[in-house]
Amino acid sequence: MAKIQMKTPLVEMDGDEMTRIIWKWIKDELLLPFVDLKTVYFDLGLENREKTKDQVTLDASYAAKEYGVSVKCATITPNQQRVEEYGLSEMWKSPNGTIRAILDGTVFRAPILLPFIHPAVRNWKRPITIARHAYGDIYKATEYRVPGKGKAELVFTKENGETSFRKTVYDFECPGVLQGSFNKDASIESFARSCFTYALNTKQDLWFSTKDTISKQYDQTFKFIFQDIYDREFRTAFEKAGLTYFYTLIDDAVARVIRSEGGFIWALKNYDGDVMSDMVSTAFGSLAMMTSVLVSPDGKFEYEAAHGTVTQHYYRYRKGESTSTNPMATIFAWSGALRKRGELDGLNDLVGFADRLEQACISVLNTGTMTKDLVPLCDATVEPKPVTTEQFLAAIRAKL
């Protein structure tokens, strides 16, 4: 067959360890034989981040903003042990943090479902996508241990030095704890726009929940900003697409989510999203089957797997052993990016290829051919045949 043509290139960000190995295998086996792949390549592997003093991450982020669609391999976020292992001159920042700051985006995580792996919650039939506001609140809070008796106050001083309010938080009669947290309208607005944009793009309802009944200024601000942006910028498009935006108190949302069939996006404040995304992804079965996409308020998309670089598998691979690392989330990052690029450029063949690639993966899994991590999750309708990553990719290629 003639290779499927692309118009605009994807921004490609290579990464580290086992996922870097799988990245190349996916390209060689599943993409390059079929697609005339056009990418603008950035090597975000830790060695190159060190060599370029992390400039490569900045360059990649600006390219992601310019071109609009990117695909990223998992990368190491250095800690002290990595500084020693790689002889780093600095503990470079998390690449995902840098990209997110430059795109001003929100991360959406969604599981890949299989008919023979059942979520821990029996009635979940369709994916639940979690959108976490990754800015502010307790993650940027200032906190103290209160040593003993005394007054804690909340004070705001204007730019010109005037105090515009002073409120007593608590008159301490004994030791305790104290915390001041904040958020910004601009960040909440970006979060809201990313959520509404992604809901329209994926044709799913959007739910949003906070504790606004208790937090009458802080959480209510989130509720009002979402409602205002919905009414002014998105209501017409939502109604036309037959979609709903639904706000409810977080306690009520939790109950409704558990009773639901899935098939919607659940937007959450920073801490709620941190906790709920781990709960929901665990309930769906496997981190290796979790996809992730960063969406900016102005509609730029960066696709990746939700898992890390699978270090332990890489150490075994380096010793010459073959591993059974699950490539699904990384393949779906590529298919997601190719589909989006195809939609934006009006390339039906490219969109069709992304669909077929995903279908080929699902078909192979349905025959029982799978990586080892999935075997313990299967029900009795399938007879699992565990294979290595390379055998799994070969089976997908044959199917494709």
Q: Rg of the chain over CA atoms, in angstroms?
A: 23
| Interface characters, 331-370, with ligand NAP (x: CB under 6 A) | ----------------------------------------
Give the list of residues 6+ apart from residue 191 with CB closer than 8 angstroms, or none: 106, 131, 133, 135, 267, 297
Among 68-76, 141-149, 197-205, 231-239, the segment contacting ligand NAP (CB under 6 A): 68-76
Which residue's CB is nearer to ligand NAP, number 176 or number 308? 308
221: partner contacted, choices Mg ion, ligand NAP, none (Cβ within 5-8 A by kind): none
Q: By CB under 5 A, is residue 274 in contact with Mg ion?
A: yes
Residue number of the CB closest to ligand NAP reads 308
227: partner contacted, choices ligand NAP, Mg ion, none (Cβ within 5-8 A by kind): none
Least separation in angstroms between residue 392's CB and ligand NAP is 10
Q: By CB under 6 A, is residue 308 in contact with ligand NAP?
A: yes
Give the list of residues 6+ apart from residue 369 with CB closer than 8 angstroms, or none: 385, 387, 391, 392, 395
- The H-assigned helical ranges of 163-292 are 185-202, 218-229, 235-241, 250-259, 270-284
Which residue's CB is nearer to ligand NAP, number 111 or number 342? 111
Going through the chain in order, the beta strands assigned E by DSSP cover: 10-14, 39-43, 69-72, 106-111, 128-132, 142-146, 150-157, 163-172, 176-180, 205-210, 245-249, 264-268, 290-295, 301-305, 369-370, 385-386
Interacting residue with ligand NAP among 70, 96, 281, 296 (CB under 6 A): 96
Number of chain positions touching ligand NAP (CB under 6 A): 17
Q: By CB under 5 A, is residue 390 in contact with Mg ion?
A: no
DSSP 184: -
DSSP H or E stretch at residue 247: strand 245-249
Helix 328-345 × helix 17-26 angle, to 10°: 50
274: partner contacted, choices Mg ion, ligand NAP, none (Cβ within 5-8 A by kind): Mg ion
For the record, the structure tokens of 88 come out as 């780093």
Least separation in angstroms between residue 92's CB and ligand NAP is 11
Residue number of the CB closest to Mg ion reads 274
- Chain positions contacting ligand NAP, by CB under 6 A: 74-77, 96, 287-288, 304, 307-312, 325-326, 373
